[in-house]
Structure 1
């Protein structure tokens, strides 16, 4: 009788070292982002508080940020008044209803906020809201 040597079955095993490396990278990036070492886009603003703030429904929004020092951004990009209107007009033609949300820092003068809202209303933008944080 003749016998053949059966090959030894290899046991499957999971390599744990690459998983540890991935988890360490995730931990490092999480810590860096939570400590604001990696800067977020946009201007830092401290929104005014309101006790009766409403939650907005997701829509086609354009977010204008007014910060101290006459800085203005549209969706995270620096703009001036002329380019603001041209970019908003482009957004208005591509969508049915454009909702403009103004994020205004506490230190910005009310005069500047009102003049921005008046500029928008004067150019035909009817849906303008002011962002606040809920107290």
Structure 2
């Protein structure tokens, strides 16, 4: 049997399944990064605010003030007294570090202001206060 070399079949590029896969990956990564900051921190009851939005910068360090007034830096489980030094170290590594202050709704205002004072003395430029969206 001889082949006719004049008849050639062009390969088909199926782009629809590739678009489906890319959209699935996009949605997966969007959803997985939304909760990244909250899953790496100690759970506290955040106050509610109508204009709450998620911080999306790359280098975010959460600082948590618990109901008892304990201050937890990043993923620490125990209260820390060297908060200012840890803030300075984080700023030395990256000057554009964003510090997210997560104060419990029942925490004393004085404790939250104390942490803000520490952040100011350390020379931070980016501080956000974490809240939950009002329902």
Q: Which residue of 2 aligns with 1:45?
A: 44
| Deviation, structure 1 residue 73 | 0.9
Q: What whole-Å deviation, never above 9, does each CA across 1:50-101 have from its counterpart, x for those lacking one? A: 01112211321110011022222111213434x1111121111111411100
Structure 2 stretches lacking a partner, 5+ long: 1-38
Q: What whole-Å deviation, never above 9, does each CA across 1:8-53 have from its counterpart, x for those lacking one? A: xxxxxxxxxxxxxxxxxxxxxxxxxxxxxxxx87533100010111
- Asked if 1:56 is matched to 2:55, the reply is yes
TM-score, with length taken from structure 2: 0.63
Compute the RMSD of aligned alpha carbons. Answer: 1.8
Q: In 2, distance between residues paired with 1:58 and 1:42?
A: 17
Do 2:60 and 2:99's aligned partners in 1 also have CA atoms closer than 8 Å?
yes
Structure with greater Cα Rg: 1
| Deviation, structure 1 residue 117 | 0.4
Q: What whole-Å deviation, never above 9, does each CA across 1:77-128 have from its counterpart, x for those lacking one? A: 13434x1111121111111411100111011011211121022112211211
- Asked if 1:114 is matched to 2:113, the reply is yes
Alignment: residue pair count = 95
TM-score, with length taken from structure 1: 0.63
